[in-house]
Amino acid sequence: MVSYFKEVLVGFASLIGGMAVTIRYFFKPIVTVQYPREKITMTPRYRGHTQLVLDPETATHKCIACELCARTCPSQLITVKGVKVDAKKKVPWQYLIEYQYCSLCGLCLEVCPTSALEWSNEYRLANFSRQDNVIDLLVRLQKQQRLAGVAVTPIPEPPAETEAEASSSGEVKE
């Protein structure tokens, strides 16, 4: 009989402890974010996808199409194709990254001699098809410039021998 009352007392104490936790959190502010309608601000050190950096002096990207990022990438998912505009200067006309395979290791950011790449604050990474994960960073940069109201950096024309190759590679997401 004593063990029965002891079990009832322990159960009642457990119930009171649980209710105390519930009441305590009932009066605290809600931290849940209603995701599609509300968006959270990411921390400054968040590592999303990589993106091209705009040079504040020239209002263009800093990439010189040296392809060091493509050679350093352990997953081999970066494709940089450049064209010479001057005798010494080379600029990219295509900068593709296949994000579905990216491990976000950051080697491409570390090896870049001009610091042309940085982490973005983009956290919505889900897509419905694989083709949506192949992103041209130059097109994406132009879109960001249009949204910011900045002068848009023109993408140079590809060399004549690679135009047919570029058009047959499929669609690229902005």
Binding residues for [4Fe-4S] cluster, by number, are 63, 66, 69, 73, 102, 105, 108, 112
Q: Residues comprising the binding site?
A: 63, 66, 69, 73, 102, 105, 108, 112
The CA distance from 169 to 72, in Å, is 23
Query: Can you spell out the DSSP letters for 65-123?
Result: ---HHHHH-TT--EEEEEEESSSS-EEEEEEEEEGGG-----HHHHH-TT--EEE----
Give the C-alpha separation, 119 to 108, whole Å.
11
**Distance from C-alpha of 18 to C-alpha of 95, rounded to nearest angstrom:** 56
